[in-house]
Amino acid sequence: MPDYNSINCPICDKRFTPEDDIVVCPECGAPHHRACWMENGACQFNELHSEGFVWKRPDVEKKSEQSAGGESTEAPTVCASCGTVNENGRFFCKKCGALLNKNEETRRPADYINSDTSFDDDDEDGRDGNPFRDTDPYALFVDPLGGVPPEEDFDGVQAKELADFVGRQSSYFLRVFKMLKVKKSKVFFNLSAFLFSGFWLLSKKMYGLGAAVTALLLALRGTIAFLDARFYEPIYEQVKGLTYAEQLGYFNGLSRRDLLAGIILPSALQFLVWGIMIFFGLYANNLYKKHCQKSIKRARNSGNTAQNVIEKKGGTNMLCALSVAVSFYIILMFLQNMLY
CA distances from 167 to 162, 181, 238 (A): 8, 20, 56
CATH number of the structural domain spanning residue 27: 3.30.40
CA angle 193, 154, 140 (to 5 degrees): 65
Q: Which residues make beta-bridge pairs with 92?
A: 99
Q: At what angle do helices 207-227 and 318-339 cross, to 10 degrees?
A: 20
CA angle 273, 278, 281 (to 5 degrees): 130
* Same domain? 199 vs 154: no
| Domain boundary pick from 183, 214, 233 | 183
For each of the chain's 340 residues, which pLDDT tens digit applies?
Answer: 567 777 888 888 888 888 888 888 888 888 888 888 888 888 888 888 888 888 887 644 444 444 444 444 455 677 766 667 766 666 666 666 666 654 444 444 444 444 344 344 444 444 445 555 545 555 555 677 777 888 889 999 988 888 888 988 888 999 899 999 989 999 999 999 999 999 999 999 999 999 999 999 999 999 999 998 888 888 888 888 888 888 888 888 888 888 888 888 999 999 999 999 999 999 999 999 999 999 888 887 776 565 666 667 788 999 999 999 999 999 999 988 888 7
Tell me which DSSP letter residue 66 carries.
P
φ, ψ of residue 32 in degrees (nearest 5): -140, 155
* Same domain? 204 vs 329: yes
CB proximity list for 243: less than 8 A, separation 6 or greater: none
Tell me which DSSP letter residue 1 carries.
-
Domain of 93, in residue numbers: 67-183
* Same domain? 112 vs 13: no
pTM over 0.75: no
| Domain boundary pick from 133, 148, 183 | 183
